[in-house]
Amino acid sequence: MQPRANDPASTLAVILHADVAGSTALVQRDERLAHRRITETLGRLAEHVAAYGGIAHEVRGDALVAEFSRASDAVCAALAFQHASAEFNRTLDGDIRPEVRVGIALGEVVIADRTVTGSGVVLAQRIEQLCAPGGVNVTGAIHEALPRRLPLAYERLGEPTLKGFDDPVPVYAVGTRDGDAIPGPAERPASRHGRRLPLPSIVAGVIVVAAAGIAALWFLPDRDPATTVDAQSIDAPDERPSIAVLPFDNLGGDPEQEYFADGITEDLTTDLSRISGLFVVARNSSFAFKGQSVDVRTVADALGVRYVLEGSVRRVGDQVRINAQLIDATSGGHVWADRFDGGMSDVFRLQDDVNKRIVEALSVNLTSAERERLESVETTNPQAYDTLLRGLQHYQRFTPEDIREARALFTKAAELDPDYARAYANVALTYASDININLVRDREYAIAEGLKYAEKAFELDPSLPQVYSTRSLLYLAQRSHDAAVEAARRTVEVHPNYGDGYAILAFVQSFAGDLDDALRAIRRAKEIDPQYSYILLSVEGRILFLMNRYDEAKAVLEESVSRNPAFPLGQLSLAAVYAALGQQDDAEWAVQEALLVDPNITLEAVRRESNYRRPEDLEHYLGALRAAGLPE
């Protein structure tokens, strides 16, 4: 579905789409070496994108999608990379030398954190597929936008009719003129406080405007994996063996199977995290390293764990192979490495076998309930499980279109297996998400539908933490604070190592007025998820503001805003803190930053959409925003 031109979540952007030519053939020659070199190649491309002011939003198997605000930056980044990549490939041994094709287009897109979708992405992909390996193709619109002073050479490739587009599209191959150097990255002036983004990047943040709540936005990591975490989250909270499950590689040769490898990784993480004798880093933090070639010891140090599980998934037809290895990061040596084979009907047994090997190797004692849970099968219908994993891929992108597609897939999974508790729980979660990012006109209907599906999931499996966390968000939307807090508490009772559960608990407690408990909960969430997102920092900063701990709130919120200046709730909380500290210029600046993203924010809108139980908390917040200059 192409985004409508008047869709407030859409923006016009320059999109670069790149993929590795002939990746399937490379994988068939030597799958491990090919995967490593493909990953390294895309990593170098991402570095060139960043150097030229672009944003590499996501790696999709053997492809990369990036966004630029200027056509010249996108083209020069692509050409500089292709030149450097050709030089690098000449130094490689053997015939596994990944060559990249690049397409660049101007079009409407929807951007949410590191995911970008829409007709602009599709158009860039279509013209990239017409590109020669090592080349760069652009649309006619990009060709027209490029300054003629640039030393570029063009070859018109005609006006093909592309799948999904009604009108022919002019396409050009772009290169450099003989003897001319590729222009380097342009210098960009810094803005006040270093916070202001180019306007297209600011507009891109509109998708995360959650006027009344957060929903599942903290599921999306945004921290640079190369940075270290603060002192309170470096170490595991106790002496239990600590482990991180890195995203498993997709070795099936089909980039469309990426969702399956990600789903297996997420399920292994979830199963291990429910074992009381282990400390398991949250999925969010581990997935911050997806698509990167990093040293295991570096990962372990960044995540504060001793052990790292890494591996790959290969799915061909109905057959599944999981290769896994457990590494002790203190020495870099393997604790064990093994291969697990079976059919789709055996997929839960394969995951169970991996988990048992870890438990045995680390001498973890299981309770009878944990042993029973590990051996349980959530569905006997392989198609239902596959459909649910496809839905999760869409849900993680967190755009309005993807949430709707995820709901359809979760509903289909429940239809394929009417006893599939997790499918019903995920349907309920999509309704909670709709409510919290204002995608529905009838809130009461959405709340009722969400609670209906959550109740069905609860009847089938009362041990699912998602059931309670979803109920908590829906109860908060009803302003039923006691019920929301109780449901959130139940989330962490049934799953004490669930980072998102503690984040939701902190979120609802902050609105219920339980500020001391909320602060403890959000800091526990940060311990479990050391690559925590700007959302968690925004929640923590607002809690500290409500507690009158303004200096602490300022430090936390400035970090949150530095990571995502296009999140208006973070800007508003920071404006309130600045006003409370008497930093009037900074307070007014933060308000203007928020209004750049959402011009409709007013004091009345904040009051109307607020979920605060205690009037004094609401008036504290509104008074500070009024002093900061937010219009009535």
Give 443-453 pLDDT, tens digit per residue: 888 899 999 99
Mean pLDDT score, 104-108: 87
Domain boundaries for CATH 3.30.70.1230 within the chain: 10-188
- Residue 288: the pLDDT is 75
- Residue 228: the pLDDT is 34
Mean pLDDT score, 560-567: 78
- Residue 548: the pLDDT is 95
At residue 94, does pLDDT exceed 50? yes
User: pLDDT tens digits for 174-189?
Assistant: 988 766 778 877 533 3
Mean pLDDT score, 540-554: 94
Full-model pTM = 0.59
Give residue 3's pLDDT band: very low, low, confident or very high (50, 70, 90). very low
- Residue 347: the pLDDT is 77
Enclosing H/E stretch for 138: strand 136-139
Domain boundaries for CATH 3.40.50.10070 within the chain: 222-377
Contact 170, 156 (CB under 8 A): yes
Strands 242-245 and 307-316, by their bridges, are parallel
Nearest alpha carbon to residue 497 among 221, 229, 241, 232 = 241
User: pLDDT tens digits for 609-627?
Assistant: 788 999 999 999 999 999 9
* Percent of the chain residues past pLDDT 70, beyond the cut: 86
At residue 506, does pLDDT exceed 90? yes
Of these ranges, 88-92, 163-167, 186-190, the one predicted with the greatest mean pLDDT is: 88-92
At residue 585, does pLDDT exceed 50? yes
Q: How high is the mean pLDDT of the chain? A: 81
User: pLDDT tens digits for 196-238?
Assistant: 333 333 233 333 333 333 443 333 334 333 333 333 333 334 5
- Residue 251: the pLDDT is 82
Mean pLDDT score, 125-154: 87
In sequence order, what DSSP letters do the residues of 547-589 get, joined into one string? TT-HHHHHHHHHHHHHH-TT-HHHHHHHHHHHHHTT-HHHHHH
Domain boundaries for CATH 1.25.40.10 within the chain: 535-628
Give residue 51's pLDDT band: very low, low, confident or very high (50, 70, 90). confident
CATH class of 535-628: mainly alpha
Mean pLDDT score, 129-152: 86
Asked which of 64-78, 114-128, 224-238, 285-299 is least confident by mean pLDDT, the reply is 224-238
- Residue 253: the pLDDT is 63
The Cα 473–Cα 468 span in angstroms is: 9
Q: Cβ contacts of residue 45 below 8 Å, gap of 6+?
A: 18, 56, 64, 81, 85, 100
Residue for token digits 């989250």?
233
Asked which of 81-95, 291-305, 404-418, 423-437 is least confident by mean pLDDT, the reply is 291-305
Give residue 483's pLDDT band: very low, low, confident or very high (50, 70, 90). very high
- Residue 398: the pLDDT is 66
* Percent of the chain residues past pLDDT 90, beyond the cut: 27
Give residue 115's pLDDT band: very low, low, confident or very high (50, 70, 90). low
The Cα 150–Cα 254 span in angstroms is: 38
Mean pLDDT score, 313-325: 85
Give residue 438's pLDDT band: very low, low, confident or very high (50, 70, 90). low
Pick the CATH number of 222-377 from 3.10.290.10, 3.40.50.10070, 3.40.640.10, 2.40.110.10: 3.40.50.10070
Mean pLDDT score, 317-330: 85
At residue 101, does pLDDT exceed 90? yes
At residue 103, does pLDDT exceed 90? yes
The DSSP call for residue 191 is P
- Residue 411: the pLDDT is 93
- Residue 446: the pLDDT is 87
Q: Cβ contacts of residue 432 below 8 Å, gap of 6+?
A: 215, 216, 450, 470, 473, 474, 477
Contact 12, 200 (CB under 8 A): yes
The Cα 275–Cα 362 span in angstroms is: 12
Contact 534, 222 (CB under 8 A): yes
Q: Tell me if the domain spanning 10-188 has CATH number 3.30.70.1230.
A: yes
